[in-house]
Amino acid sequence: MGGFILRRVLYMIPTVFLVSIVTFIIIQLPPGDYLDSLAAEMGEAGVDNTAVVEQLRAQYGLGQPMYLQYWKWMTGILLEGDFGISFEKNLPVTDVIWDRLGWTFGISLLTLGFIWAVALPIGIYSAVRKYSVGDYIATFFGFVGLAIPNFLLALVMMYVAFKYFGQSVGGLVSPEYLDQPWTWAKFVDLLKHIWMPVFVVGTSGAAALIRIMRANLLDELYRPYVVTARAKGMSEFQLLMRYPVRVALNPFISTIGWILPTLVSGEIIVAVVMNLPTTGPLLLRALLVQDMYLAGSLILIVSLLTVIGTLLSDVLLAWVDPRIRYQ
Protein backbone atom coordinates (compact mmCIF):
# COMPACT_ATOMS: atom_id res chain seq x y z
CA MET A 1 0.00 0.00 0.00
CA GLY A 2 2.86 2.39 0.80
CA GLY A 3 4.46 1.82 -2.60
CA PHE A 4 1.12 2.43 -4.32
CA ILE A 5 0.65 5.78 -2.55
CA LEU A 6 4.27 6.79 -3.27
CA ARG A 7 3.81 6.11 -7.00
CA ARG A 8 0.63 8.19 -7.09
CA VAL A 9 2.33 11.09 -5.27
CA LEU A 10 5.26 10.98 -7.73
CA TYR A 11 2.79 11.12 -10.62
CA MET A 12 1.35 14.30 -9.10
CA ILE A 13 4.57 16.32 -9.38
CA PRO A 14 4.88 16.53 -13.21
CA THR A 15 1.09 16.86 -13.47
CA VAL A 16 1.00 19.93 -11.22
CA PHE A 17 4.01 21.39 -13.07
CA LEU A 18 2.31 21.03 -16.46
CA VAL A 19 -0.95 22.41 -15.05
CA SER A 20 0.88 25.49 -13.75
CA ILE A 21 2.32 26.14 -17.24
CA VAL A 22 -1.06 25.74 -18.94
CA THR A 23 -2.68 27.95 -16.28
CA PHE A 24 -0.19 30.76 -16.82
CA ILE A 25 -0.55 30.55 -20.60
CA ILE A 26 -4.35 30.67 -20.36
CA ILE A 27 -4.42 33.80 -18.24
CA GLN A 28 -2.02 35.45 -20.69
CA LEU A 29 -4.12 34.67 -23.77
CA PRO A 30 -6.55 37.65 -23.67
CA PRO A 31 -5.10 40.70 -25.44
CA GLY A 32 -3.69 43.36 -23.15
CA ASP A 33 -3.40 43.14 -19.38
CA TYR A 34 -4.71 44.79 -16.24
CA LEU A 35 -2.69 47.95 -16.82
CA ASP A 36 -4.17 48.34 -20.30
CA SER A 37 -7.65 48.23 -18.76
CA LEU A 38 -6.56 50.68 -16.08
CA ALA A 39 -5.10 53.04 -18.72
CA ALA A 40 -8.38 52.93 -20.67
CA GLU A 41 -10.39 53.79 -17.54
CA MET A 42 -8.06 56.65 -16.64
CA GLY A 43 -8.14 57.91 -20.24
CA GLU A 44 -11.94 58.01 -20.19
CA ALA A 45 -11.72 60.10 -17.03
CA GLY A 46 -9.43 62.56 -18.83
CA VAL A 47 -6.33 61.74 -16.76
CA ASP A 48 -2.87 61.68 -18.36
CA ASN A 49 -1.78 58.21 -17.32
CA THR A 50 1.20 57.31 -19.50
CA ALA A 51 3.88 57.84 -16.87
CA VAL A 52 1.87 56.09 -14.13
CA VAL A 53 1.10 53.06 -16.30
CA GLU A 54 4.72 52.68 -17.44
CA GLN A 55 5.92 52.94 -13.86
CA LEU A 56 3.47 50.23 -12.75
CA ARG A 57 4.39 48.05 -15.74
CA ALA A 58 8.06 48.22 -14.76
CA GLN A 59 7.21 47.63 -11.09
CA TYR A 60 5.15 44.50 -11.77
CA GLY A 61 7.36 43.25 -14.61
CA LEU A 62 4.48 43.01 -17.08
CA GLY A 63 6.70 44.09 -19.97
CA GLN A 64 8.98 41.07 -19.54
CA PRO A 65 8.74 37.91 -21.68
CA MET A 66 6.10 35.38 -20.62
CA TYR A 67 8.60 32.70 -19.61
CA LEU A 68 10.38 35.13 -17.28
CA GLN A 69 7.10 36.19 -15.67
CA TYR A 70 6.22 32.51 -15.17
CA TRP A 71 9.63 31.78 -13.65
CA LYS A 72 9.32 34.62 -11.14
CA TRP A 73 5.76 33.59 -10.27
CA MET A 74 6.60 29.91 -9.68
CA THR A 75 9.85 30.56 -7.78
CA GLY A 76 7.97 32.97 -5.53
CA ILE A 77 5.33 30.30 -4.83
CA LEU A 78 7.78 27.45 -4.24
CA LEU A 79 10.48 29.30 -2.30
CA GLU A 80 8.56 31.98 -0.42
CA GLY A 81 4.89 31.02 -0.63
CA ASP A 82 4.33 34.30 -2.51
CA PHE A 83 1.58 34.04 -5.12
CA GLY A 84 2.18 37.55 -6.40
CA ILE A 85 0.24 40.80 -6.11
CA SER A 86 -3.44 41.40 -6.83
CA PHE A 87 -3.31 44.41 -9.13
CA GLU A 88 -6.87 45.54 -8.50
CA LYS A 89 -6.71 45.34 -4.71
CA ASN A 90 -3.00 46.20 -4.44
CA LEU A 91 -2.53 43.45 -1.87
CA PRO A 92 -0.64 40.16 -1.81
CA VAL A 93 -2.74 37.39 -3.35
CA THR A 94 -2.44 35.33 -0.17
CA ASP A 95 -4.04 38.12 1.88
CA VAL A 96 -6.91 38.32 -0.60
CA ILE A 97 -7.75 34.61 -0.92
CA TRP A 98 -7.05 32.97 2.45
CA ASP A 99 -10.23 34.09 4.22
CA ARG A 100 -12.33 33.15 1.24
CA LEU A 101 -10.57 29.79 0.93
CA GLY A 102 -11.54 28.99 4.52
CA TRP A 103 -15.22 29.63 3.82
CA THR A 104 -14.96 27.80 0.50
CA PHE A 105 -13.46 24.66 2.03
CA GLY A 106 -15.94 24.73 4.91
CA ILE A 107 -18.95 24.92 2.59
CA SER A 108 -17.40 22.34 0.24
CA LEU A 109 -16.80 19.77 3.00
CA LEU A 110 -20.32 20.23 4.37
CA THR A 111 -21.71 19.87 0.84
CA LEU A 112 -19.66 16.73 0.21
CA GLY A 113 -20.97 15.22 3.45
CA PHE A 114 -24.52 16.15 2.45
CA ILE A 115 -24.10 14.57 -1.00
CA TRP A 116 -22.80 11.29 0.38
CA ALA A 117 -25.32 11.14 3.23
CA VAL A 118 -28.19 11.58 0.76
CA ALA A 119 -26.96 9.70 -2.30
CA LEU A 120 -25.65 6.52 -0.67
CA PRO A 121 -28.78 5.31 1.18
CA ILE A 122 -31.20 6.48 -1.52
CA GLY A 123 -29.12 4.85 -4.27
CA ILE A 124 -29.03 1.57 -2.34
CA TYR A 125 -32.77 1.69 -1.70
CA SER A 126 -33.56 2.44 -5.36
CA ALA A 127 -31.51 -0.54 -6.51
CA VAL A 128 -32.85 -2.99 -3.93
CA ARG A 129 -36.47 -1.85 -4.42
CA LYS A 130 -36.24 -1.55 -8.18
CA TYR A 131 -39.42 -0.27 -9.90
CA SER A 132 -41.15 0.33 -6.57
CA VAL A 133 -42.98 3.56 -5.70
CA GLY A 134 -39.97 4.71 -3.68
CA ASP A 135 -37.67 4.02 -6.62
CA TYR A 136 -39.87 6.05 -8.98
CA ILE A 137 -39.99 8.94 -6.48
CA ALA A 138 -36.20 8.89 -6.06
CA THR A 139 -35.75 8.72 -9.84
CA PHE A 140 -38.12 11.66 -10.37
CA PHE A 141 -36.39 13.88 -7.82
CA GLY A 142 -33.02 12.76 -9.16
CA PHE A 143 -33.86 13.92 -12.67
CA VAL A 144 -35.37 17.15 -11.31
CA GLY A 145 -32.18 17.80 -9.33
CA LEU A 146 -30.08 17.29 -12.44
CA ALA A 147 -32.35 19.38 -14.67
CA ILE A 148 -32.81 22.51 -12.53
CA PRO A 149 -29.82 24.89 -12.67
CA ASN A 150 -28.39 25.50 -9.23
CA PHE A 151 -28.59 29.28 -9.54
CA LEU A 152 -32.34 29.02 -10.34
CA LEU A 153 -32.87 26.78 -7.32
CA ALA A 154 -30.97 29.33 -5.23
CA LEU A 155 -33.24 32.17 -6.42
CA VAL A 156 -36.40 30.17 -5.65
CA MET A 157 -35.22 29.15 -2.18
CA MET A 158 -34.10 32.69 -1.34
CA TYR A 159 -37.52 34.02 -2.38
CA VAL A 160 -39.39 31.42 -0.32
CA ALA A 161 -37.16 31.96 2.72
CA PHE A 162 -37.65 35.73 2.62
CA LYS A 163 -41.34 35.76 1.62
CA TYR A 164 -42.72 33.10 3.92
CA PHE A 165 -40.19 32.74 6.74
CA GLY A 166 -38.85 36.27 7.02
CA GLN A 167 -35.25 35.07 6.88
CA SER A 168 -32.54 37.41 5.62
CA VAL A 169 -31.15 36.04 2.38
CA GLY A 170 -27.72 36.40 0.85
CA GLY A 171 -24.47 35.89 2.67
CA LEU A 172 -23.72 33.45 5.46
CA VAL A 173 -24.75 35.64 8.40
CA SER A 174 -27.35 38.34 8.98
CA PRO A 175 -26.30 41.95 8.26
CA GLU A 176 -26.07 42.83 11.97
CA TYR A 177 -23.37 40.16 12.49
CA LEU A 178 -21.18 40.98 9.47
CA ASP A 179 -18.43 42.92 11.25
CA GLN A 180 -18.97 41.48 14.71
CA PRO A 181 -16.61 39.09 16.53
CA TRP A 182 -17.60 35.46 16.78
CA THR A 183 -20.13 34.73 19.51
CA TRP A 184 -22.58 31.93 20.16
CA ALA A 185 -25.39 34.04 18.68
CA LYS A 186 -23.39 34.64 15.49
CA PHE A 187 -22.62 30.91 15.22
CA VAL A 188 -26.31 30.05 15.56
CA ASP A 189 -27.10 32.65 12.90
CA LEU A 190 -24.49 31.05 10.63
CA LEU A 191 -26.21 27.67 11.02
CA LYS A 192 -29.51 29.27 10.01
CA HIS A 193 -27.96 30.49 6.75
CA ILE A 194 -25.33 27.93 5.72
CA TRP A 195 -27.78 25.06 5.12
CA MET A 196 -29.18 26.84 2.04
CA PRO A 197 -25.95 27.05 -0.03
CA VAL A 198 -25.04 23.52 1.07
CA PHE A 199 -28.41 22.24 -0.15
CA VAL A 200 -28.34 24.25 -3.39
CA VAL A 201 -24.77 23.32 -4.35
CA GLY A 202 -25.18 19.69 -3.30
CA THR A 203 -28.50 18.97 -5.02
CA SER A 204 -27.17 18.23 -8.51
CA GLY A 205 -24.21 16.24 -7.17
CA ALA A 206 -26.46 14.13 -4.94
CA ALA A 207 -28.89 13.53 -7.81
CA ALA A 208 -26.08 12.36 -10.09
CA LEU A 209 -24.57 10.04 -7.47
CA ILE A 210 -27.96 8.51 -6.71
CA ARG A 211 -28.20 7.42 -10.34
CA ILE A 212 -24.59 6.19 -10.33
CA MET A 213 -25.05 4.16 -7.14
CA ARG A 214 -28.31 2.65 -8.36
CA ALA A 215 -26.81 1.58 -11.69
CA ASN A 216 -23.66 0.16 -10.09
CA LEU A 217 -25.57 -1.81 -7.49
CA LEU A 218 -28.04 -3.23 -10.02
CA ASP A 219 -25.06 -4.60 -11.95
CA GLU A 220 -23.89 -6.48 -8.84
CA LEU A 221 -27.11 -7.71 -7.22
CA TYR A 222 -27.59 -10.65 -9.58
CA ARG A 223 -23.99 -11.80 -9.84
CA PRO A 224 -23.24 -15.48 -9.01
CA TYR A 225 -21.38 -14.60 -5.79
CA VAL A 226 -24.54 -12.92 -4.44
CA VAL A 227 -26.65 -15.97 -5.29
CA THR A 228 -24.08 -18.23 -3.61
CA ALA A 229 -23.98 -16.13 -0.43
CA ARG A 230 -27.79 -16.14 -0.27
CA ALA A 231 -27.87 -19.92 -0.75
CA LYS A 232 -25.53 -20.31 2.23
CA GLY A 233 -28.10 -18.62 4.45
CA MET A 234 -26.53 -15.19 4.89
CA SER A 235 -29.02 -12.52 5.95
CA GLU A 236 -30.09 -10.09 3.24
CA PHE A 237 -28.73 -6.99 4.99
CA GLN A 238 -25.37 -8.58 5.77
CA LEU A 239 -25.13 -9.96 2.25
CA LEU A 240 -26.01 -6.60 0.72
CA MET A 241 -23.53 -4.54 2.71
CA ARG A 242 -20.68 -7.06 2.65
CA TYR A 243 -20.58 -7.89 -1.06
CA PRO A 244 -22.52 -5.94 -3.73
CA VAL A 245 -22.49 -2.55 -1.96
CA ARG A 246 -18.77 -2.80 -1.33
CA VAL A 247 -18.09 -3.51 -5.01
CA ALA A 248 -20.57 -0.86 -6.19
CA LEU A 249 -18.76 1.77 -4.13
CA ASN A 250 -15.75 1.76 -6.47
CA PRO A 251 -17.17 4.16 -9.09
CA PHE A 252 -18.87 6.06 -6.27
CA ILE A 253 -15.53 6.71 -4.55
CA SER A 254 -13.82 7.63 -7.81
CA THR A 255 -16.15 10.65 -8.12
CA ILE A 256 -14.16 12.43 -5.39
CA GLY A 257 -11.64 13.35 -8.08
CA TRP A 258 -14.12 15.63 -9.84
CA ILE A 259 -16.55 16.52 -7.05
CA LEU A 260 -13.94 18.26 -4.85
CA PRO A 261 -12.77 20.89 -7.39
CA THR A 262 -16.31 21.29 -8.72
CA LEU A 263 -17.61 22.17 -5.27
CA VAL A 264 -14.83 24.71 -4.76
CA SER A 265 -15.01 26.54 -8.09
CA GLY A 266 -17.87 25.17 -10.15
CA GLU A 267 -20.66 27.16 -8.50
CA ILE A 268 -19.52 30.68 -9.29
CA ILE A 269 -23.00 31.81 -10.36
CA VAL A 270 -24.56 30.41 -7.17
CA ALA A 271 -21.97 32.23 -5.06
CA VAL A 272 -22.70 35.48 -6.90
CA VAL A 273 -26.48 35.04 -6.57
CA MET A 274 -26.31 34.18 -2.87
CA ASN A 275 -23.54 36.69 -2.10
CA LEU A 276 -21.27 34.03 -0.60
CA PRO A 277 -17.76 35.01 0.60
CA THR A 278 -16.14 32.21 -1.41
CA THR A 279 -13.50 32.10 -4.13
CA GLY A 280 -16.00 31.88 -7.00
CA PRO A 281 -16.92 35.60 -7.25
CA LEU A 282 -13.29 36.49 -6.62
CA LEU A 283 -12.15 34.36 -9.56
CA LEU A 284 -14.84 35.80 -11.81
CA ARG A 285 -13.83 39.36 -10.96
CA ALA A 286 -10.13 38.59 -11.44
CA LEU A 287 -10.79 37.18 -14.91
CA LEU A 288 -12.94 40.14 -15.90
CA VAL A 289 -10.31 42.74 -14.97
CA GLN A 290 -7.35 40.53 -16.03
CA ASP A 291 -5.85 40.43 -12.55
CA MET A 292 -3.45 37.73 -13.75
CA TYR A 293 -1.72 36.63 -10.57
CA LEU A 294 -4.96 36.43 -8.58
CA ALA A 295 -6.77 34.54 -11.36
CA GLY A 296 -3.77 32.28 -11.99
CA SER A 297 -3.39 31.45 -8.30
CA LEU A 298 -7.07 30.53 -7.96
CA ILE A 299 -7.01 28.39 -11.10
CA LEU A 300 -3.81 26.71 -9.87
CA ILE A 301 -5.40 25.95 -6.50
CA VAL A 302 -8.46 24.43 -8.19
CA SER A 303 -6.22 22.33 -10.45
CA LEU A 304 -4.22 21.19 -7.44
CA LEU A 305 -7.48 20.17 -5.75
CA THR A 306 -8.32 18.09 -8.81
CA VAL A 307 -5.00 16.26 -8.50
CA ILE A 308 -5.41 15.83 -4.73
CA GLY A 309 -9.00 14.61 -5.21
CA THR A 310 -7.78 12.04 -7.72
CA LEU A 311 -5.08 10.91 -5.28
CA LEU A 312 -7.63 10.54 -2.46
CA SER A 313 -9.98 8.55 -4.67
CA ASP A 314 -7.11 6.28 -5.77
CA VAL A 315 -6.04 5.63 -2.18
CA LEU A 316 -9.62 4.97 -1.01
CA LEU A 317 -10.23 2.66 -3.96
CA ALA A 318 -7.05 0.73 -3.19
CA TRP A 319 -8.17 0.40 0.44
CA VAL A 320 -11.67 -0.77 -0.51
CA ASP A 321 -10.55 -3.03 -3.37
CA PRO A 322 -6.99 -4.42 -2.89
CA ARG A 323 -6.87 -5.57 -6.53
CA ILE A 324 -6.38 -1.95 -7.60
CA ARG A 325 -3.00 -1.75 -5.84
CA TYR A 326 -1.47 -4.09 -8.39
CA GLN A 327 -2.82 -2.40 -11.51
178-203 residue pLDDT tens: 778 888 888 888 888 888 888 988 88
In whole angstroms, give the CA distance from residue 125 to residue 118: 11
Residue at which a domain ends, from 92, 108, 141: 92
Quick one: pLDDT band at residue 49, thresholds 50, 70, 90? low
Residue 122's pLDDT is 92
Cross-strand pairs, 86? 91
Kindly state whether residues 308 and 172 are assigned to the same domain: yes
Residue 101's pLDDT is 81
Quick one: pLDDT band at residue 33, thresholds 50, 70, 90? low
User: In whole numbers, what is the pLDDT of the chain averaged over residues?
Assistant: 80
Residues 312-319 have a mean pLDDT of: 78
Domain-located, residue 1: no
Domain-located, residue 85: yes
Kindly state whether residues 212 and 70 are assigned to the same domain: no
Kindly state whether residues 170 and 76 are assigned to the same domain: no
Whichever domain contains 181, its CATH number is 1.10.3720.10
Does residue 266 have a pLDDT over 60? no
- Provide the residue range defining the domain that includes 263: 100-326
Kindly state whether residues 30 and 177 are assigned to the same domain: no
Does residue 325 have a pLDDT over 70? no
Contact assessment for residue 274 and residue 170, using Cβ atoms and an 8 Å cutoff: yes
Q: Which region among 167-171, 234-238, 311-315 has the lowest average model confidence (pLDDT)? A: 167-171
How many domains is the chain built from? 2
In whole angstroms, give the CA distance from residue 91 to residue 93: 6
Contact assessment for residue 260 and residue 313, using Cβ atoms and an 8 Å cutoff: no
In whole angstroms, give the CA distance from residue 109 to residue 307: 17
CA 221 to chain centre: 33
In whole angstroms, give the CA distance from residue 106 to residue 90: 27
Domain-located, residue 6: no
Kindly state whether residues 109 and 76 are assigned to the same domain: no
Q: What length is written for the chain?
A: 327
Kindly state whether residues 140 and 258 are assigned to the same domain: yes
Express as a percent the part of the chain with pLDDT over 70: 83
Kindly state whether residues 223 and 306 are assigned to the same domain: yes
Domain-located, residue 10: no
Task: Count other Cβ atoms within 10 Å, centred on residue 65.
Answer: 9
Kindly state whether residues 21 and 118 are assigned to the same domain: no
Domain-located, residue 231: yes
Does residue 132 have a pLDDT over 60? yes
Q: In angstroms, what CA-CA distances link 154 with 130, 242, 262?
A: 31, 39, 17
Residue at which a domain ends, from 28, 63, 92: 92
Kindly state whether residues 144 and 277 are assigned to the same domain: yes
| Residue 135 CB-half CA count within 13 A | 14
Kindly state whether residues 49 and 108 are assigned to the same domain: no
Q: Which region among 53-57, 181-185, 308-312 has the lowest average model confidence (pLDDT)? A: 53-57
Among residues 327, 256, 325, 304, which one has the least CA distance to residue 5? 325
Residue at which a domain ends, from 92, 121, 145: 92
Kindly state whether residues 88 and 151 are assigned to the same domain: no
Contact assessment for residue 264 and residue 104, using Cβ atoms and an 8 Å cutoff: yes
Does residue 60 have a pLDDT over 70? no
